[in-house]
Structure 1
């Protein structure tokens, strides 16, 4: 059967079918893989499943909690599905691409390499980390891989010999076995890390090139399980051979759990390295999303702690968080230091493609690799996720920074990374640090002297704030797997109005060294369970954390259980242990700086937007919800809460703005402003009024706001492809916007998407003539209507939901 053209196909039906599926239907000679999304908010109903059956669609799967089915369907069956009022959309099950190249695009590394002005300023050489020594303190490196070949890019590869059980009963200086081609004989973890730092991408034609391919890699590993002594050996080797290999960076994708102690031997080692002008980086940990899960070695104020983000600019669920408002001062070596329990910055850490161990061949993520990596490259690359992958990315950026200015100190590198970071909507500093790392802005600051940081949320004092407090209580459970369940529980009370619970225990195991595969479960008064769910394979991290938002009031139970075995550990059993923990009850005390919003229709949206740093009030303590939003306010709020990259020009672009708002205005008007514009080639998220003029005090129309919010989502191409009428969904039909002629032609696609994403709404009315059998529904958008500050808070809160 031939598929009708898009013009012949009923327009209403065609809107349900995505463009890729439509194209596939035109060329199809057999069934297609189709994702069917039904109306509803839970699993497909029996009626919806019956629809599939009635059409003869019998091959596929359905989701357990989502109204979605994946099926094999013919073009005729797809057309029939599109005609059903039960179906919301039909999409081709198309291939998704996850690349290391995406990571270097989104952080601006690729832009650094291709920027001719930066190359010229850097003495005519591209900024690629040339000659900077980076020690990878990990499981080892497979130097037989051409991307990180020993003797070329890998200038030294060391096998640590710190196994105390293998030593003679005498005290001897530590020794290292150098010049070992392959020291990664176990996990492949260190090889993957090394490729992210500075792999050349040779085995993929440059496709999976690392961040700093010009850097000199030094591998240090034990070749097997990593113990504290192994890690200390890496620091020791780096300091001993610092001058020989110009070691300026140590990257550590490992850690532990517990509190920060400046006297911990690892912290002592990292402090010594810091004092020798070696920049030390640590992974924040993979125990998120709970509070107080931060790797203690990453808390040292002289190191850089790296959280893991997604390629779309969000914080990965597994990325460890610090603790809100926790930190302090201490003295060491006669110097006073201040530490905060938070990561430094966030970097790509989800589905990262990098070098695979060649000898022996690693089978890491074998099924996932087959889907993500081209067949020709499978023997050489593999995918991994974790803060372990994010940390070497920032280590590579640090190498680029030292290439641009070898005199930088570790503290200066850390400060520049924080000052140039991109704000991440919905995350506070204790979760994501200063924000998503921006390599291009960091190098720009170093080479061109542009001063960044004035727009970073974590450096700001806001006029309006949400007040929260936490009451922490210690508890303990004498866990024994053979006793009654009640003996392994601790009861606690939750009062009405509590905003959240954060519960944490440590399963340290025998002599507090082995780790214990326990699980922490919080049980609500109605029996609902919330589990920490820590994998048995990662008992090195002994923390178990559970977070519950908006918990019901009543008697709760914290229960310690032994984790059940899985295919990898079918017989795993937790051991008896006195398990100690804390329970934090978080409450909201109110808001400040919002004295004039009580009873306003936008009150809740304003509060939510203030909490998530999408908006701010005025200095006089008011929000002024009915005042018109100005263009300079919109610029400020977009940079605060729409994940807009910082960008500055050597000379001011606009002549009508104050210096105080210049960083915001130049950021929103720069090419590639939106974080989700990964290649950084789209237009800014705000447009100039005229050449050299921004008009900061002018108001913002609804059409202009539609442009800014949709553009901030990186949807320029989709908006530009829009043709025809601007319509809005009304119950089961699309209504044409009657005042669409008032929408500027270049903004119609943006208004359409803003309506479709429910960021902005249309205004409906109904008319019915004397002899009309049915009423007529009308919809208008009011594109030229001025946006009030309360209106913006509503739109910003909806944008935030779309962004997430």
Structure 2
């Protein structure tokens, strides 16, 4: 922010200046010397209506910034009668986020229903996850019209301008023609210094980057969800140590808004995979100090190990500080590989497999990468792009892109506000699925989808007028066990309760269950936590386990040192009341005891 005298000068120059809007779809905002007290605003969007050529008289100047741009469009706040100009040019100087009050509305040139923005990128038509028109996959099967992020109109509100997304992955093609990468700020863990994190094998990270934020409206390739956001790449997966894993999610914390993470525990094993303390400490640092105390946002892949795995078993994806993202196919159903879980917040789109329908995005430049000429179903003649990116790996950067829209729409949002907005505005996808139920706060929930499919328009609209959540409260309570609880072999469930009173938490945001048991095969166990309102969170199911090569192995005594599960399903319920743990052994051959269990409730 500039000095007070500069603000005074700007106030007195305002009505004699040329006002330039940065929105790509609209005419500029202008000033007519013949009417010096008036400004003609090219376009303003209110609710579902676009108003054009809005003439107002200028009142007071409230604030401005010398750095930017931080937003795509001019906007109007009806609650206080203030207009925010995205960009204001006065002579050779440019100012951003200029907030003025309107003294009087003079006239409105026109009004029309808000329409979806259609980017001019040549491969946009195949990006069904952005606009599903029933595109056919490689197998000829048509997608279900409308099963997409519902983002076209959201782009008339925000495009990710001013937001920086860190892609933590196997690399990022920082020279790609369709990616806006911040120069000199990507990190190469092969040398552990700033540099080029890309390689001929970094297709995964490059594809993730394109899904999140490929440049839009440049007539080149694809469109990213947040097509005006900027990217950096950290190739953690080229040197995946615990210390580097913690470093990657806090690197340049003062500059990054979002960290998108499409990796995690080995898929399909059924094994418990607890997180490391150094990683948990890093997440705490990020959500506490990131974005000037509002918290960095971590989108995290729920996992691709279904049907044998659940996201609940992954100590990173089930952590309270991350947003676990599931994947849907082109019909709005859970993708066959996407892991269900009580920790899954919402779902985006990954498709199934390349021989049917997956997502279209950027690939590493040149002949290497996914689109190397050996996959007939891929895009012919466009080796820098691919239509074969799938998985929760594809869904997660889409979620990061939507988060970028929310942060542009309302920079005051905390990471907790973002989580709440995504949950409360999600669409009930695959509505006849038998797993849908309603939690005690009235929210539809499903272990397969979380709160549902991300709705970018509903979320962005909500962000613009969102009332920030109160300060977070946490409370922990341990069950008082007079003696360990016996888990009978292949028998009915054993239950245990604890009472939580006086927590002060009227609306839950997340709940952790910590449990310790010496049972010799966790794969025998079905574990559930039931909230005082009756919402059941399934955390473990009876299963077989496999090693990385697919050979059958025992699941082991994975709870012997304690394991922490997480659930979002009781969101917005009250915390106080009786919490119930249910544990059932569903196979013969192993028994054990529960020596301790506790919950930690997060909310406000």
Scaled by the length of structure 1, the TM-score of the pair is: 0.38
Which has more strand, going by share of residues? 2
Pick the structure with greater CA Rg: 1
* TM-score w.r.t. length of structure 2: 0.50
